Amino acid sequence: MQDKSNTQFFRVEKEPEFQVKDIIEHVYRSLSEKGYNPLNQIVGYIMSGDPTYITSHNNARSMVMKVERDELVEEILKEYIKVNFR
């Protein structure tokens, strides 16, 4: 039996932090690998919030669900403006 009079310590490994841009790229590649139209699937997810628009292949669904949908829109719009208006 363990001694319960002492404080027990444990470490929790932090998951690697990804930028929203990295998550979008990962989701796009995963959808492409599975033969889906990434644009249609990502738009469907952003509009509806239904995670089944995103494949679970390569853990893409769980990754995209870690960020808010408005963050996805913001990142996509930011990149669009950077490419087209600067």
For residue 34, give the nearest of 51, 16, 59 by alpha carbon: 59
Close Cβ partners of 13 (under 8 Å, ≥ 6 residues apart): none
Residue 15 lies in a domain: no
* Structural contact between residues 75 and 21, judged by C-beta atoms closer than 8 angstroms: yes
Q: Is 49 left (phi over 0), alpha (psi -120 to 50) or beta?
A: left
- The number of domains in the chain is 1
pLDDT confidence of residue 1 = 54
11 is a domain residue: no
Mention every residue, 6+ apart, whose C-beta is less than 8 A from residue 12. Answer: none
How do residues 36-61 score in pLDDT, each as one tens digit? 999 999 999 999 999 999 999 999 99
Structural domain contains residue 75: yes
Where in the sequence is the domain holding 49, given as residue range(s)? Answer: 20-85
Q: Stretch 64-85: mean pLDDT, rounded?
A: 96
